[in-house]
Structure 1
Amino acid sequence: MTRTPRPTRWAAVSAGAAVVAVLAVVALVAWVLARPGASEGAELAQVRGSPTASASPSGPGPSPSFSPPPTRDATLGSLASRDTPAPSRLRIPDLDVDATVTGVGVQADGAMVIPAAPTSVGWYRFGSAPADPEGHTVIAGHVATREDGPGALAALRSARPGMRVVVTTADGTEHAYEVRGREAIVKKALPVDEIFARDGRPLLVLITCGGEYLPELRSHRDNVVVTAVPV
């Protein structure tokens, strides 16, 4: 009777090494998919034409999956009420983005509030709206959450110049924009005054997280910033 040989110790070690290698490849692929693409098209300052802004930012606060950019004082009385309708829906057909837009302010630490639902994004309601004659309409959303996976703006890292963006406001009006540029910016170097400017030509600025995830900070290293102009 022939006895079936048992796997040797070296075979077991080899099999274990193969599993580790596969897991390493999977982790690498996940990291590559999570980071933003290289900047493409015009930078925000170029599209804006002027880096001057009208107020100073406050500091950002931590968040498990999205550290939003620092924002302005939400107590500014001049924008407490507005005549222009607020955004209610954001669509980027080429990226299959279709999200509900919610007006948001800031947290106690000065960080922009971001809706938790993965299908929702936040519009900074103390800034400009699509129908305003000047200033930036700023909309931000999670790239992903631990509970729900990819967020509404996860595909923003693939935005390219020429893509169409449509923002629908509460009165049913559709405001069309064309993407001019996408930037991957380290959060510490984020040009907050330019992003949240209330002066200058009207622009749409979309923001999400990207780049390497830093466990010690519970945050991604970069922000993906997409700039679009009205058409």
Structure 2
Amino acid sequence: MSLPRRALIGLALLLAGCAPEGSSGPSAAVVLSPADGPAVPFDQPSAASAARPDPPELPSRLPGVGERLGSAVPAGTRQVLVVSGDGPDASTGQAVLYRDDGDGWLAGPTWPTRNALRGWTADHRRNDLRSPIGVFTLSDAGGLLPDPGSRLPYSRSDDFAVSGTGFEGEPLEGSFDYVIAIDYNRVPGSTPLDPRRPLGDRYGSGIWLHVDHGGPTHGCVSMSADRMRELLLALDPALRPVVVMGDAGTLAR
């Protein structure tokens, strides 16, 4: 008996890379400063202003990211999502969205993440159940739900529907409510559902950021629905966003 189109597409996506697997508004990084005191001549600072501590020095390099991957961040990139896995074989980690406003990298909040069942690899292959390590641009988004206000091109489609269960028996429904395509072995500027694979099927594909379903993925990175919505609202194509992803030890080299 033939499967319906939606089921076939869902199966293809899972085999390609995305596993059967998670706001309140954008979480733009903000530097807080004390309220301005009364105006005084520049050579006569007020007691209040004299007592203010110097602002913290902002890092010129991405925290936790060493020279090897840090140097791979494209020139002109001012927005970086750093996904740091808990270990080379771990399926959990955390993500921080950084923005460079000209004086250094400002950090947003830390978000829990999941990744592939077997951890990470610098030599990803189809169905190896590991997430690829590297620096990848973030160009396109989509999902089963309507566009929440993304500045990335957003493709809403019923073909993002998925069913079944994940590695730990958790339901997969809703995993692709929101997705952001990671530009690994895909054609940037196209819907995340685009089947074209420039490197061929051998190297895997369909590596996305998507909604966490409560278990490990096939190769994607997932976070909660609220965090995915927040990320969609925060990413700005004008800032040339990328993701730097891998286990913490590899990232730091």
Place the TM-score, normalised by the shorter chain, in its bin: under 0.3
Length-normalised TM-score, structure 1: 0.25
Higher strand share: 1
Structure with more relative contact order (C-alpha pairs < 8 Å, separation 6 or more)? 2
